Structure 1
């Protein structure tokens, strides 16, 4: 009779400890790097939602490596693939109606391409919002937008649209005038 052999590693009854190094903060790419900003702002075209998520993750985590030279398309065997991680050129992917990365016939996501007219309209709308705000609201809004806190900036815009001071002023102008007269 052979003795029973345990399939577990180490001494029986011991548990594995957790991973040695825990991530204490999330990765943030260098915002001042011009190449990283350019890569992040290039839209991914002709791919499905799953592949779009993969490429966006690569861009966020600084893993995206753009092509330096065109790749060979698997369909037409021409050097026409200019987007990184794609295997089909734009023309072949459109004629086959498949994703240019995974070659599956799922729904292709069309990225939002903003025309110069749309950009002009957005900038005019933002200028209109800024003109309607008080100085204190305007400075807070611009400071929050610079930091990337869009939720806080939206709250300020809503407060400005409702003509609500949002708790900005400590007292009214009439009370301020009365206090100045009392001091004299």
Structure 2
């Protein structure tokens, strides 16, 4: 802005512009940073969610080292960074645990986050080919949902779980077929023939 007194608007464009987008994990691939990047911001109001996501995106997020004291129940139960109140007290008072305002709060069920974590763990156990198959299937499902927003998509989660289990079973079956007893017997026969020729 201009230093001229009373001039609150500037006519020229921004002088220095970034040529590339900031990546918070470009040089820092430590487990702590990767864990911070995987955080899901839940149980806070929309404004506070944006603030915390911004901190994570631009590497300003500082995790708590020890639980903080909740001013409502006076116990050390605040386990999330930048939160003032603990989750149970905030739910009881129907307010945001970060800012303390009584606004609409996006609540995600703990079962759903647990299920998402389980799906991530299952994905890690799959071979690369099956993992990519599942990710393509997931992208197609998301496209279907975005194409038909008025249609109810209640069974999507169940479909994804079924597909993931199907791929896992297929991967296990392929592993079993790769190491069948016939393969080992034929290899032993080949070794016996080579020894007899010598």
The TM-score, its normalising length taken from structure 2, stands at: 0.50
Aligned to 1:144: none
Return the offset for 1:52.
Answer: 1.1
SS of the residue corresponding to residue 77 of structure 2 reads strand
Q: Deviations over 1:58-86 (max 9, x none)?
A: 11110100111111112122221111100
Return the offset for 1:114.
Answer: 4.5
Distance in 2, matches of 1:29 and 1:82, equals 24
Show structure 2 runs of 5+ residues with no match: 144-198
Distance verdict in 2 for CA 1:74–1:24, change over 3 Å: same
What is the 5 A alignment of 1:84-123?
84-111=81-108, 113-115=113-115, 118-119=119-120, 120=122
Return the offset for 1:113.
Answer: 0.9
Aligned to 1:130: 133
Matched, 1:55 2:58: no
Tell me if structure 1 keeps the 8 A contact 2:123–2:131. no
**Which of the residues 25, 29, 45 maps onto 1:30?**
25
SS of the residue corresponding to residue 72 of structure 1 reads coil
How many residue pairs align between the two structures? 123
Matched, 1:44 2:41: yes
Matched, 1:65 2:62: yes
Q: Which has the larger radius of gyration?
A: 1
More strand by share: 1
Tell me if structure 2 keeps the 8 A contact 1:69–1:82. yes
Return the offset for 1:29.
Answer: 1.1
**Which of the residues 9, 12, 16 maps onto 1:21?**
16
Return the offset for 1:17.
Answer: 5.6
